[in-house]
Amino acid sequence: MAESTEKPGTDKHSIKIKSILVTQPKPTNDNSPYLTLAQKYGIKVDFREFIQVEPVPYKEFRKDKVNILEHTAIIFTSRNAVDHFFRICAESKIEMPAEMKYFCISEQTAYYLQKYIVLRKRKLFTGEKTASDLFEVIKKHKNEKFLYPCSNIRKDDIPEFMRANNFNFTEAVIYKTVPADLSDLAEVKYDCIAFFSPSGISSLFINFPDFKQNNTRIAAFGPTTAQAVLDANLELDIVAPMPNAPSMTGAIELYIQKQAGKK
């Protein structure tokens, strides 16, 4: 990405944020807090995914010799996992039995399941939002044979929990997370870039190996993303979530208000 046009000696924290690049898909509705932020402070907000999802071909999946119907419970942590799991089922001509149990990391993920199954006829269990919440639910079902459909890049928390507690557990990679092509952003400048995963940081440097932060503010959501920013020798300017700013937009707004001398 292009370097900032501000003078190198300028204190970047004194430079107002006029443009933000959010490394996520563009919202599908007009109620996005990012759009509210843009309107409130006269900021340009663009959206661009830094990573993209590619399916693991059925032939490749078969090489792992995972027998889906040998399991009695499925763990879902995202919509991508749901979509690609049922893609694999369709390609292998598998119809999920009515007695199959589904454990979803959140109500949103559970609700998304109705795209493929009739929820009222299924045994569905959900966490509040995080994997830790889901663990408390899983602990009550020690006799199940769990299948965890996931990406080639995933957090270690679920596999580590399942192994540490001696659950009957199989991990199945059904989709891959790869860097997106960002070549069209080579000459584009942003005052702030908001990241939501270590994969986003990795994609930045894969696309732009000589990236220089200069006066660009870096925002990170979550501790693993924040650590990835520091590991890449970038300065971390905005951190979310915080007690007084549980969302990325809230953290960015606090930064903007601090610049303006507001509390």
Phi and psi at 86, nearest 5°, equal -75, -20
Q: What is the pLDDT of residue 112?
A: 92
Mean pLDDT across 105-123: 83
Beta strands in the chain (DSSP E): 19-22, 44-47, 51-55, 73-76, 101-104, 123-126, 145-151, 168-179, 192-195, 217-221, 238-240
| Confidence tier at 155 by pLDDT (50, 70, 90) | confident
The reply to whether omega before 246 is within 30° of 0 (cis) is no
In 159-182, which positions are buried (b, 16+ CB within 10 angstroms) versus exposed (e)? Answer: eebbeeeebebbbbbbbbbbbbeb
In 100-133, which positions are buried (b, 16+ CB within 10 angstroms) versus exposed (e)? Answer: bbbbbbbeebbebbeeebeeeebebbbbeeebee
In this model, does residue 85 exceed pLDDT 90?
yes
Proportion of the chain in helix, strand, coil states, percent, rounded to 5: 35, 20, 40
In this model, does residue 173 exceed pLDDT 90?
yes
Give span(s): CATH 3.40.50.10090, the chain.
18-50+180-261, 53-178
Q: What is the pLDDT of residue 11?
A: 77
pLDDT in tens, 16-44: 999 999 999 998 887 899 999 999 999 99
Q: Over the Cα atoms of the chain, what is R_g?
A: 21
CATH T-level assignment (fold) for domain 18-50+180-261: Rossmann fold (3.40.50)
pLDDT in tens, 60-81: 999 999 999 999 999 999 999 9
In this model, does residue 2 exceed pLDDT 60?
no
Structure tokens at 46: 């663009």
In this model, does residue 47 exceed pLDDT 90?
yes
Nearest residue to 48 (alpha-carbon basis) of 215, 194, 248, 207: 194
Burial of 6 from C-beta contacts in 10 A (0-12 / 13-18 / 19+): middle
Strand order in the sheet with 217-221: 44-47, 19-22, 192-195, 217-221, 238-240
Mean pLDDT across 257-261: 85
| Confidence tier at 136 by pLDDT (50, 70, 90) | confident
In this model, does residue 161 exceed pLDDT 60?
yes
Mean pLDDT across 237-243: 93
Q: What's this model's pTM, rounded to 2 decimal places?
A: 0.75
Q: How far apart are alpha carbons 89 and 61 in whole angstroms?
A: 11
Angle at 180 between CA 109 and CA 131, to 5 degrees: 30
| Confidence tier at 126 by pLDDT (50, 70, 90) | confident
| Confidence tier at 144 by pLDDT (50, 70, 90) | very high
Q: What is the pLDDT of residue 262?
A: 58
Q: What is the pLDDT of residue 7?
A: 56
Structure tokens at 87: 């893609």
CATH number of 53-178: 3.40.50.10090
Nearest residue to 191 (alpha-carbon basis) of 18, 6, 9: 18
